[in-house]
């Protein structure tokens, strides 16, 4: 009986193998989940290399080209000022010399701006400081020319305050008045009087409107454009003023003294009137008002452009 007993072997290794397999699968599942999370987080973050490449493109290509194109406007405006014909009688106030100095200044800013672009990698901070100082000075001058800056100096040429002081000086005005008369400012009205009445004074140049006709507040009737007489049964003209605004100016003209100074003599007319003085100022100051607006716009754009180039250059160095 004892010999007939058979021993059945127990397959323990297979069970242990299945246990190890389940343990390995359970341990590998968290590792796979964690790796998937890390990959998803890395996908959400922007690649640093792409950002550096964009900054390098801006610092090396786009911003310098844009700044160079802006500086070309300085060159063009300087050439335009050099070759632009001066207004009649400007030389009495020395404005052609001021116009030449403004052209030279714009050419100097053009050279310094492009030098700062060329040396931005070697000397980024000095280049930025020099450009900021120059552009802020140019902005201040533009504000003065445009009449925005109320702190403009009386000695600063071609500003509104400077012009008003010049024409109010009797010696200067006598020279200007003789020049305006010699240039024939009123000849078209004297020899070619328009037939339409009332005359459209808004379409006339300021110097003709102010020097060749009495102010509108004088309440005068006209036989022609240069011969006026006071209306009957009317008292003295009202003590009112007429506003000749333009190019940032608000000039009060047309006072009672102008009505009293008017003469029908072709050599006198209203050349001594305040309206004539301010009409001359408006005619001459238009060019300088346009220069002021240009200086304000171009200085702000160049200041922003050079500042962005400075920041992009330092970012390139820091990441490099």
**Is residue 73 scored above 50 in pLDDT?**
yes
Q: pLDDT band at 75, cuts 50/70/90?
A: very high
3-state secondary structure at position 204: coil
Q: Which residues of 128-163 are buried (b: 16+ CB within 10 A; e: fewer)?
A: bebbeebbeebbbbbbbbbbebeebeeebbbbbebb
Q: Which residues of 288-307 are buried (b: 16+ CB within 10 A; e: fewer)?
A: bbebbbbbbebbeebbebbe
Q: pLDDT band at 277, cuts 50/70/90?
A: very high
**Is residue 144 scored above 90 in pLDDT?**
no
Taking the C-alpha atoms of residue 267 and residue 61, their distance in angstroms, rounded to an integer, is: 64
Higher pLDDT, 251 or 153: 153
Taking the C-alpha atoms of residue 275 and residue 281, their distance in angstroms, rounded to an integer, is: 10
Taking the C-alpha atoms of residue 153 and residue 144, their distance in angstroms, rounded to an integer, is: 9
CA 195 to chain centre: 43
Give the single-character DSSP code of 59: I
What is the pLDDT, as a whole number, of residue 130? 93
What is the pLDDT, as a whole number, of residue 224? 77
**Is residue 5 scored above 50 in pLDDT?**
no
Q: State pTM to two decimals.
A: 0.72
Give the single-character DSSP code of 62: I
Q: pLDDT band at 265, cuts 50/70/90?
A: confident
**Is residue 298 scored above 60 in pLDDT?**
yes
Instruction: Over range 20-33, report the average pLDDT.
Output: 47
Spell out the alpha helix ranges (H) of 119-250: 124-146, 160-168, 170-182, 187-191, 206-211
**Is residue 74 scored above 90 in pLDDT?**
yes
- Percentage of the chain beyond pLDDT 70 is 66
pLDDT in tens, 153-183: 666 888 888 898 899 998 999 999 999 988 8
**Is residue 195 scored above 70 in pLDDT?**
no
Using left for φ > 0, alpha for ψ between -120 and 50, and beta otherwise, residue 219 falls in: left
> Is 210 within 8 Å of 280 (Cβ atoms)?
yes
Q: pLDDT band at 313, cuts 50/70/90?
A: confident
Higher pLDDT, 72 or 187: 72
> Is 276 within 8 Å of 207 (Cβ atoms)?
yes
Q: pLDDT band at 102, cuts 50/70/90?
A: very high
307: closest CA among 2, 59, 21, 20?
Answer: 59
Sign, CA torsion 144/148/154/157: positive
Average pLDDT over the chain, rounded to an integer: 75
């Amino acid at each position: 009986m004892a010999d007939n007993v058979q021993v059945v072997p127990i397959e323990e290794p297979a069970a242990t193998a299945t246990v190890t397999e389940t343990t390995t699968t359970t341990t590998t599942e968290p590792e796979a989940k964690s790796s998937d999370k890390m990959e998803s987080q890395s996908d959400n973050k922007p690649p640093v290399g792409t950002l550096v490449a964009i900054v390098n493109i801006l610092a090396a290509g786009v911003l310098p080209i844009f700044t160079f194109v802006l500086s070309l406007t300085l060159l063009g405006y300087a050439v335009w000022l050099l070759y632009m014909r001066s207004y009649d009688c400007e030389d009495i106030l020395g404005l052609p010399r001021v116009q030449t100095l403004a052209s030279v200044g714009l050419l100097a800013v053009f050279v310094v701006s492009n030098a700062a672009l060329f040396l931005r990698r070697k000397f980024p901070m000095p280049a930025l400081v020099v450009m900021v100082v120059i552009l802020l000075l140019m902005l201040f001058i533009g504000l003065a020319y445009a009449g925005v800056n109320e702190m403009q100096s009386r000695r600063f040429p071609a500003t509104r305050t400077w012009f008003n002081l010049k024409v109010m000086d009797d010696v200067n005005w006598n020279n200007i008045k003789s020049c305006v008369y010699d240039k024939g400012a009123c000849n078209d009205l004297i020899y070619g009087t328009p037939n339409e009445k009332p005359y459209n004074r808004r379409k006339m140049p300021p110097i003709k409107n102010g020097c060749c006709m009495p102010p509108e507040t004088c309440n005068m009737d006209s036989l022609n454009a240069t011969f006026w007489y006071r209306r009957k049964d009317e008292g003295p003209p009202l003590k009112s003023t007429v506003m000749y605004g333009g190019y940032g100016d608000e000039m009060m003209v047309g006072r009672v003294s102008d009505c009293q100074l008017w003469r029908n003599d072709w050599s006198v007319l209203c050349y001594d009137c305040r309206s004539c003085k301010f009409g001359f100022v408006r005619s001459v100051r238009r060019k300088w008002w346009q220069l002021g607006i240009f200086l304000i716009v171009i200085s702000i754009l160049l200041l922003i452009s050079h500042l962005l180039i400075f920041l992009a250059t330092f970012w390139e160095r820091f990441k490099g």
